[in-house]
Structure 1
């Protein structure tokens, strides 16, 4: 396995984890806003977490596709 594929795999896992954490924070923020009308981590708009997760999700998908394409060429 070449070093590029290893780096892409590692990067995809990190970016996917970051996206998942941001989505989880967004969902927690939504429930706090919906039930208690409170802010989560001093962010009143819970959508900020969900919007921030989009680029990380797209980059994680791109890295995953790069790894899949690299494995098929062997």
Structure 2
């Protein structure tokens, strides 16, 4: 992909992450389909539904105070 970017006139370092706009240009130039996201987006039906209630948390008990004896 780096060789393609250089031959297509894009400036790209020899190492490191390849910017998204170069990846998109490469895929467009190769007529390759865009990669699918790792997780599919939730359907709009789930976004419309009412949120569920959060579970109530019980309060924590405080630890008893420690008293030090003078020696």
* Higher RCO by CA contacts (8 Å cutoff, separation 6 or greater): 1
Give the helix-richer structure, 1 or 2: 1
TM-score using structure 1 length: 0.25
* Bigger Rg over Cα: 2
TM-score using structure 2 length: 0.25
